[in-house]
Amino acid sequence: MNANIFPTTDTTFPIDVLHSSTPVLVDFWGEWCGPCKALAPMLEQLAADYGGRLKVAKLEMDRNPKTAIAYGVRSAPTMLLFKDGKVQATQTGLVSKAQLAKVIDAVL
């Protein structure tokens, strides 16, 4: 994993994401999810491209159901972009890197 991508859990989510001074893109994913695996290299590229301006967190939904339920995440992959502790954008499903960059740019 790249330095700007880190795992988060139900326990660490408030500190990792909600209290982050940097916007955080959270990837809600599952081990069983093929599209999630296809998305991983794109997230690594985006984390590098937006280094210092954006962090990327990965939350494995089966092991951390409380956070997924709290934000109404029902399918993987779902990405929520948090800024100042609030969801600013949502993207569900496998999309292109350009599409995801558009969502990020609109918030940053």
Which residues belong to the active site? Answer: 33, 36
Residues 4 and 48 sit within 8 Å (Cβ to Cβ):
yes
Helical (H) or strand (E) element with 29: strand 24-29
Q: How far apart are the first and last CA of the chain?
A: 23
8 Å CB contact between 94 and 101: no
Answer positive or negative: Cα dihedral of 13, 16, 19, 25.
negative
Instruction: Give residues with Cβ within 8 angstroms of 72, minimum separation 6.
Output: none
